[in-house]
Amino acid sequence: MLFELICFGNGREDMAMEVTQILLSAQSVDSTVRKHAEENLKQFQEQNLPAFLLSLSVELASEEKPVDSRKLAGLVLKNALDAKEQHRKYELVQRWLSLDVSVKSQIKACLLQTLSSTASDARSTASQVIAKVAGIELPQKLWPELVGSLLSNVHQVPPHVKQATIETLGYLCEEVAPEAIDQDQVNKILTAVVQGMNANEANIEVRLASTRALYNAIGFAQANFSNDMERDYIMRVVCEATLSPEVKIRQAAYECLVSIGSTYYEKLAPYIQEIFNITSKAVRDDEEPVALQAIEFWSSICDEEIDILGDYGGDFTADSDVPCYYFIKQALPALVPLLLETLLKQEEDQDQDEGAWNLAMAGGTCLGLVARTVGDDIVPLVMPFIEENITKGDWRQREAATYAFGSILEGPSPDKLTPIVNVALGFMLTALTKDPNSHVKDTTAWTLGRIFEFLHGSTLATPIITPANCQQIITVLLQSMKDAPNVAEKACGALYFLAQGYEDVGPTSPLTPYFQEIVQSLLNATHREDAGESRLRTAAYETLNEVVRSSTEETARLVVELVQVIMTELHKTLEAQKLSSDEREKQTELQGLLCGCLQVIIQKLGASEPTKYALLQYSDQIMNLLLRVFACRNATVHEEAMLSIGALAYATGPNFVKYMPDFYKYLEMGLQNFEEYQVCAVTVGVVGDICRALDDKVLSYCDGIMTQLLKDLSSNQLHRSVKPPIFSCFGDIALAIGENFEKYLMYAMPMLQSAAELSAHTSSVDDEMIEYTNSLRNGILEAYSGIFQGFKNSPKTQLLIPYAPHILQFLDSIYIEKDMDDIVMKTAIGVLGDLADTLGSNAASLIQQSLSSKDFLNECLSSDDHMIKESAEWARLAISRAISV
């Protein structure tokens, strides 16, 4: 046993030998040997962590050891410092920080020493581990000498040491936030990195490592990019590197350029002409990995400008951060022809290859982004290309022309596009049926989908689809569902958007006459032998969902019939026996799709009274199937089944109580699913559905549900996005069970109170954090609303009085904070009303003292938002009664 060896072994030498052997065994092809070694490593770590980590670092640093054991030692060490899950990561960080200082110093010394190793794998591994340690220690100011000692390395003569050191600096920039390093040191790092990229640097490995390191260091260069001279220098070096004879350096240099383009968009103006020159040369002449990055530069500039123009509605307002420099618009006359050229460089069979990414794909994608950036201006630049190529004998030309057309359909105005589409539509429909080339058909079907996505729907003035062409369009699309899987999948996609355009069509849908035929064709597509290819089965079911969602009363009967069809399919998947793991995976995927479809149907039929009763005749069978689905463990399937059950509970109402005995354990299981937090989140929502369906009949399940919800809230493993809905769920439960919520008050209220304190002040400029804080506030407030309304008129109302001061204080403080959104505002003022309504005169003086009952209420009363105003009216009446008694 390893443990004994460490504790009672004969000396350091033996122990080290032992570690080497275990690390090598852990890479053995023999799984028994491997597992045993892994077990030993685990035990070692558990028994004596400091010795374990130290021996790993010693192993990594030992030049005489085999490179494989050194490398693995480094990786195990790295994994002991970092993990993907936030919660685990935090634990590991704390564990490292609590280690004895001398142990840590020895480990760090070993790591730095390894940077001079002649084994490049050992150096590279050490670089990564150093960066992880730096990621923990630099923010705590615990390893102040690190950067200095690395920088002194840079001036060492052996190029491999220099290379490893610069690589380490790159990793370090990736791991550490810019604030953790002094500007002085940042300057030195950047100087070292940029000098390493310079043409004066003779060693190619050093230049490559430097270029890659710069990619990570770009975020650190804020100050340097604000200084004209420094920025000019960095840009010059990067642009020169794009012309390096080494393809890897050119590629890395373009990666830097892409990153600079999005990080320092506003500093690009002086360089954009030069960048255009070098990128267009790269797109035309360079090797593909380089050319792809060159196109990516322009795609990311489009992303920036779309963001800016979207944010300010086309006009830059004086006080916002970044103005639009219209780089794309300026480059347009040269950029568009460049991109159109790339479209002709397709690969054979790229449509069958899920992982394909080539020049034509990148070019077309960029063209689409350009169209979104400049709108109408792109149309005259692309039309000649389309007209010239679309009828050519070479499929590449026809495909490129079609792809160009499909790419520019988002961005330009419908006014500009509709006349062109009206002319092109007939041609497209013919191409989809008759073109001999599958690639052309694929792109044609995709283009039709884009036409329907962007130019068809109730908001558009001129309809593309008319009574005259509707039948032909549908016939062609349904026909194409029998074509090659990739073509059929695109045809499904086109039908999806066709149906979506009719979502709010009113009581009569143009699709009604074809409904049955469409459904049958989609079901046939799902049954194809090759439906697993090109995502066809998924696309067919998703289109079926959309067809159901957009259907009207006229076809309700057919949707009801579909319930049986989907149930039969689901039943079949549950009966399948003795499946290979591959087959089981497919079955699981299918179950997810079927549950999703069932959920859409239940939601559709449950939404109107007559169809609801037609649906409910199947509720026993549906429930039975869904419960069996839970037995198969897969997160996506659980989520879909859970959502179906929520929709069913809503439709069923109080009668849902008969399913509770069997369903409850799955509900509990869902609430316990920390890892797959989406399942947990969806289950929390379903608890709300069940509360509203069962009302007070949910009472007997509440002990279990509340226990789980409270556990969820206390867990630091659960994704934070689930916590606001859990609070809302407290409100749902309280509203359903009324004063019976009494016994949960002592648990729920302190949790609400501490969450309220946390969320009262955002103290953050981070939009995402403010958004989260507001959703948390909303959840807390919905809980309070539900609790107050639940206790209304109960003799136990007085139990809530002690909480009133805090709640009013919470309302006041979020009002003062001035960063709540409209939803929170509406919920908050509603809580004020509920508090006044339920506590009445008991809270009168408290209410009168609160800011909320005056300024906040007045602000809400004069709000333009109808919902806020309505809640405010409620609060006003409730308060006037409470304080008048």
Interaction residues for other proteins, span 462-491 (CB under 8 A): 490
259 near other proteins, judged by CB under 8 A: yes
Burial class, 510, CB count within 10 angstroms (exposed 0-12 / middle 13-18 / buried 19+): middle
Asked if 671 and 708 touch (Cβ cutoff 8 Å), the reply is yes
Binding flags for other proteins, 486-515, as an x/- string (CB under 8 A): ----x--x--xx------------------
877 near other proteins, judged by CB under 8 A: yes
Residues 841-860 that bind other proteins (CB under 8 A): 841
728 near other proteins, judged by CB under 8 A: yes
Measuring CA to CA, how many Å separate 73 from each of 17, 79, 420?
13, 10, 64
Q: Which listed residue (442, 569, 712, 812) binds other proteins by CB under 8 A? A: 442
Cite the DSSP H helix spans in 408-549: 414-434, 438-455, 470-480, 485-500, 515-527, 536-549
Residues 541-570 that bind other proteins (CB under 8 A): 542, 545-546, 549
DSSP string of 110-155, one letter each residue: HHHHHTT-S-HHHHHHHHHHHHHHHHHHGGGT--THHHHHHHHHHT
**Residue (216 or 619) nearer to other proteins, CB:** 216
User: Is the dihedral angle over the CA atoms 764, 768, 770, 775 positive or is it negative?
Assistant: negative
CA 760, 771, 646 angle in degrees (round to 5)?
105
Q: Report in angstroms how near the CB of residue 860 gets to other proteins at its nearest.
A: 14
What tokens were used for 259? 């990153």
Measuring CA to CA, how many Å separate 697 from each of 653, 655, 691, 702, 792?
11, 10, 8, 10, 18
**Residue (90 or 357) nearer to other proteins, CB:** 357
Burial class, 281, CB count within 10 angstroms (exposed 0-12 / middle 13-18 / buried 19+): middle
Binding flags for other proteins, 20-59, as an x/- string (CB under 8 A): ----------------------------------------
Q: Report which of 316, 334, 337, 329 is spatially closest to residue 372, judged by C-alpha positions.
A: 329
Judged by CB under 8 A, the stretch of 190-198, 560-568, 666-674, 780-788 that binds other proteins is 780-788
**Residue (53 or 734) nearer to other proteins, CB:** 734
Single-letter amino acid code for the residue at 339 = L
C-alpha–C-alpha distance, residues 12 and 632, integer Å: 51
Asked if 752 and 804 touch (Cβ cutoff 8 Å), the reply is no
**Residue (509 or 599) nearer to other proteins, CB:** 599
User: Is the dihedral angle over the CA atoms 35, 37, 40, 41 positive or is it negative?
Assistant: negative
Binding flags for other proteins, 730-749, as an x/- string (CB under 8 A): -xx--x--x-----------
304 near other proteins, judged by CB under 8 A: no
Judged by CB under 8 A, the stretch of 166-174, 459-467, 525-533, 618-626 that binds other proteins is 166-174
C-alpha–C-alpha distance, residues 760 and 816, integer Å: 9
599 near other proteins, judged by CB under 8 A: yes
Cα Rg for the chain, rounded, in angstroms? Answer: 32
Phi first, then psi, for residue 200 (nearest 5°) are: -65, -25
640 near other proteins, judged by CB under 8 A: yes
362 near other proteins, judged by CB under 8 A: yes
Q: Which listed residue (59, 377, 782, 812) binds other proteins by CB under 8 A? A: 782
Q: Which listed residue (59, 82, 137, 255) binds other proteins by CB under 8 A? A: 255
Q: Report in angstroms how near the CB of residue 835 gets to other proteins at its nearest.
A: 12
613 near other proteins, judged by CB under 8 A: yes
C-alpha–C-alpha distance, residues 789 and 830, integer Å: 11
216 near other proteins, judged by CB under 8 A: yes
Residues 167-186 that bind other proteins (CB under 8 A): 170-171, 174
Q: Report in angstroms how near the CB of residue 217 gets to other proteins at its nearest.
A: 10
412 near other proteins, judged by CB under 8 A: no
User: Is the dihedral angle over the CA atoms 841, 844, 847, 848 positive or is it negative?
Assistant: positive
296 near other proteins, judged by CB under 8 A: yes
Q: Report in angstroms how near the CB of residue 100 gets to other proteins at its nearest.
A: 31
C-alpha–C-alpha distance, residues 422 and 424, integer Å: 6
Q: Which listed residue (298, 327, 650, 701) binds other proteins by CB under 8 A? A: 650
For 639-660, give one letter per residue: b (16+ CB within 10 A) or e.
bbbbbbbbbbbbbbeeebbebb
What tokens were used for 359? 């020049």
880 near other proteins, judged by CB under 8 A: yes
779 near other proteins, judged by CB under 8 A: no
588 near other proteins, judged by CB under 8 A: no
**Residue (497 or 659) nearer to other proteins, CB:** 497
Residues 676-705 that bind other proteins (CB under 8 A): 678, 682, 685, 688-689, 692
Q: Report in angstroms how near the CB of residue 373 gets to other proteins at its nearest.
A: 15
**Residue (2 or 651) nearer to other proteins, CB:** 651
Q: Report in angstroms how near the CB of residue 413 gets to other proteins at its nearest.
A: 20
Q: Report in angstroms how near the CB of residue 142 gets to other proteins at its nearest.
A: 23
Burial class, 12, CB count within 10 angstroms (exposed 0-12 / middle 13-18 / buried 19+): exposed
Q: Report in angstroms how near the CB of residue 31 gets to other proteins at its nearest.
A: 30
**Residue (268 or 556) nearer to other proteins, CB:** 556
361 near other proteins, judged by CB under 8 A: yes
Q: Helix axis angle, 101-114 relative to 120-137, nearest 10°?
A: 140
